[in-house]
Amino acid sequence: TNPLKRAADKVADALQGGPQGPEDGIPGKPGPKTPPVAEPTDPHEPFPPKPDQTGPDTVSPTGQPTGADQARMAQSGSYLTNAQGTRLYDTDHSLKAGPRGPVLLQDHHLREKVMHFDHERIPERVVHARGAGAHGVFRSYGTAANVTKAAFLAEDVETPVFVRFSTVLGSRGSSDTVRDTRGFATKFYTSEGVFDLVGNNIPVFFIQDAIKFPDVIHAGKPHPDREIPQAQSAHDTFWDFVTLHTEAAHHTLWNMSDRGIPRSYRTMEGFGVHTFRLVNAAGQTTLVKFHWKPKLGVHSLVWEEAQIINGVDPDFHRRDLADAIEAGAYPQWEFGIQTFPDTPDQTFEGIDLLDPTNIVPEELAPVQPIGLLTLDRNPSNFFAETEQVAFHVGHLVPGIDITDDPLLAGRLFSYLDTQITRLAGPNFPQIPINRPHAPVNDMLRDGFHQTAVHRGAAPYRPNSLDGGCPFTAGADLGAYVETPVRVPEATKVREAPESFSDHFSQPRRFWLSMSPPEREHIIGAYTFELGKCYEVAIRERALQVLANIDPELCAGVAAGLGLPAPEPTVPLADVQPSPALSQVGRTWPTDGRIIGILTGPDGDLDGVRAVRQAVLDGGMVPLIVAPVGGTLGDGADALTVQRTYATARSVEFDAVLVAGTPGVGADAYGARDAKAGQPTAGAATPDPRVGLLLGEAFRHGKAIGAAKGGEAALEAAGIPLDAPGVIAGDTATGVLSELTRLLGAHRVWERFPSAA
Ligand code: HDD
């Protein structure tokens, strides 16, 4: 009568006539051939637990959720308890023998509290330790449906995502704006399981084979004796490695370009780097490279700005991401693919697609948009989400497969392996941020930090005890089936293919694609970094690498280092520039850009009020900067001061507008009106911090405006009113419209010397 019992009997019947016992054969002679086992095929519920096997309660006798439901329980309820749920009457005093007496070992609360605290930290990621994350949604356009059967890429499918951005070299507490590659890792919680795209903001990698990864990271991390420098590539071991392994020349050039110091995570491109293989419903395959294109455009800092920010606001990128999401200015990226035919040689237009130091110029293979990513939710707990998220290039879904890129192969091992140390065991997929949104029915059991209370008796298959479940699915039922790619007959070797030995033509293309100011920045970056190396031999070797990329680049850096520029040792590659690689020359939306409005008690307050509103109406962020804090003006119209001369620094603003006389600052710089708290009107000496702020904004190529007397502040700072990108006008709002136009180009590029 019990249906589960009937099912079990059916399975038992099916097993009749299964494996034969030894008595069926004649001793010493081969027995009859073992017929295939008839596996159970009908899905059934496993037998219900026995009455004495109900598992931990999730609800207490009084109806309260118990500790078994930890995710819901955390930090809730009115009364403080210990970890065992016992209410506490005091958490500020150890249990003592009298108020001045010794602390007693029997104080369980003291020991539990300190024990837990002692173990609050987990090992930081061995690379990409510093990062910031956000939740969001990915909506697919359906334009990839002809090349992949991945369900989340069908038309109009919405998939929840979690994205973590990171620097590579620095420790968890290092600065955001160091010169480095940035990680761009996306977890798609798809209906077919998790797909992770673990990419970077640079489309190429330092090395071609994962076996060198420990070496390149040892070289880039701080020196092992004194553990300096932190989060920098400007030191001998890094440059020793990248000049001895010339395959690193391309990635290094990207790092030395403006791409190495992004303005914001929101203004970075992302790349899957490797070539992946997509598979459609008909089983046809296409090779692809994945791209993320930021809606706000690709923008960078300049080096001096980045250095100042490292001190002024080490959390600059983290703050920017969280603030933008909180303000509802949700960052967006378009997801795109470059597609290539899956030919046996795995090349496209002579470019080896398995070599991760290569890009394919967009002019040769346009990036086709396939979906839109919107980040719209900040994490609620950094540790639980951003720190514990575990990405893996091997987390693939049907329709997306790998290629034989040897860098990718090693990654497929590393990401699983590293979590065992970092997240302390094999059960990290059960951590809430890592849980798939598709049903999980694995046969993985036990282990450290097991939180599942698995039912059933037979975690193996086939079985006849848990109703035969689980069954395997087959591609028609959504199983992940590896593409049956032909493996060429070959001899085992430790070698790279000949096509991996061209190390200079791709960096040369990148260099030739840069505008004059971008080239100036690159020369400056190499000169800075190599100038920090102690070994002259390393500087000279680096110059040789640069000579093989481009003589102008080499000569510029050599001049800065005071060394002779060597001749190239290989013929210069004959390559065409790829205009898509330059960040200059395009116009972008100005949403979310920050306008600093400098004013003072004697400023043009009506003008400030109007321009503040105009900035907001334009979808940008106004920040009012005045000599001291508090408000400007009276009554309902009073303006709140958001930054003072003490807290403001130019690096926070994308453009600066001086509205009226900015006035002088605190006591050290001029007399103050005791009643208003603001400096006295007409105090003569200009505040040096205003001069510093305007001077920096000018040097960094930012648009600067002045209205109603603001011109005097510019002149005092030595800024010519007729310089490019300096706008003086009668009204602050009038000046703003020109400032906004300039901001669309991100910087006033003409202001960099090379553009003159
Ligand atoms: Fe990696 C983390 C990106 C090569 C080994 N990697 C990590 C993260 C990103 C990348 C974005 C941070 C993920 C997060 O936010 O948690 N890695 C890349 C890219 C590579 C690359 C784009 C080349 C195309 N990585 C690479 C190689 C190896 C690793 C060749 C090892 C052989 N990467 C790791 C790791 C990390 C990691 C040790 C550290 C923490 C983690 O994985 O979860 O396994």
Q: What are 105-158's pLDDT values in tens digits?
A: 999 999 999 999 999 999 999 999 999 999 999 999 999 999 999 999 999 999
pLDDT at 321 over 80: yes
- 3-state SS class at 684: coil
The average confidence (pLDDT) of the chain is 91
* Measured distance CA(236)–CA(537) in Å, rounded: 10
Task: Give the rounded percent of residues in the chain with a pLDDT score beyond 90.
Answer: 80
- Nearest-atom number in ligand 1 for the CA of 414 is 44
β-strand partners of 318: none
Cα 525 to middle of ligand 1, angstroms: 25
Is the distance from the beta carbon of residue 391 to the nearest atom of ligand 1 less than 6 Å? yes
pLDDT at 385 over 90: yes
pLDDT at 76 over 80: no
Is there a contact between 202 and 181 (Cβ–Cβ < 8 Å)?
A: yes
| pLDDT at position 64 | 65
* Measured distance CA(740)–CA(588) in Å, rounded: 11
Is the distance from the beta carbon of residue 294 to the nearest atom of ligand 1 less than 6 Å? no
Given pLDDT bands bounded at 50, 70 and 90, which one contains residue 70? low
Is the distance from the beta carbon of residue 200 to the nearest atom of ligand 1 less than 6 Å? yes
Is the distance from the beta carbon of residue 428 to the nearest atom of ligand 1 less than 6 Å? no
Ligand 1, atom 25: closest residue by C-alpha: 411
Average pLDDT over residues 278-291: 97
Poorest-pLDDT segment among 310-324, 342-356, 447-461: 447-461
Cα 296 to middle of ligand 1, angstroms: 26
Ligand 1, atom 26: closest residue by C-alpha: 411
Is the distance from the beta carbon of residue 210 to the nearest atom of ligand 1 less than 6 Å? yes
| pLDDT at position 637 | 87
Task: Give tens-digit pLDDT for 454-468.
Answer: 988 899 989 988 888
Q: Look up residue 356 and give its two tokens.
A: 């991760």
Cα 414 to middle of ligand 1, angstroms: 8
pLDDT at 68 over 60: no
Task: Give tens-digit pLDDT for 32-66.
Answer: 677 777 777 777 666 777 787 777 776 666 666 66
Q: What domains sit in the chain, N to C, each tagged with a CATH number? A: 131-434 (2.40.180.10), 504-581 (1.20.1370.20), 594-755 (3.40.50.880)
Nearest to 88 by CA among 109, 64, 68, 66: 109
Cα 412 to middle of ligand 1, angstroms: 10
Interface pTM, i.e. ipTM: 0.99
Max Cα distance, the chain (Å) = 115
Average pLDDT over residues 636-649: 93
Q: Report the residue among 122, 124, 128, 171 best suited for mutation to probe ligand 1: largest number of ligand atoms under 8 A from its CB.
A: 128
Is the distance from the beta carbon of residue 182 to the nearest atom of ligand 1 less than 6 Å? no
| pLDDT at position 20 | 40
Q: Which residues, 6 or more positions from 120, have their beta carbon under 8 angstroms from its beta carbon?
A: none
Given pLDDT bands bounded at 50, 70 and 90, which one contains residue 667? very low
pLDDT at 311 over 80: yes
What positions carry a catalytic annotation? Answer: 128, 200
Given pLDDT bands bounded at 50, 70 and 90, which one contains residue 445? very high
Task: Give the rounded percent of residues in the chain with a pLDDT score beyond 70.
Answer: 89
Is there a contact between 367 and 336 (Cβ–Cβ < 8 Å)?
A: yes
- Nearest-atom number in ligand 1 for the CA of 418 is 44
Task: Give tens-digit pLDDT for 497-526.
Answer: 999 999 999 999 999 999 999 999 999 999
pLDDT at 360 over 90: yes
β-strand partners of 334: 293, 372
Is the distance from the beta carbon of residue 125 to the nearest atom of ligand 1 less than 6 Å? yes
Half-sphere exposure of residue 463, counting CA atoms within 13 Å on the CB side?
Answer: 16
β-strand partners of 594: 621
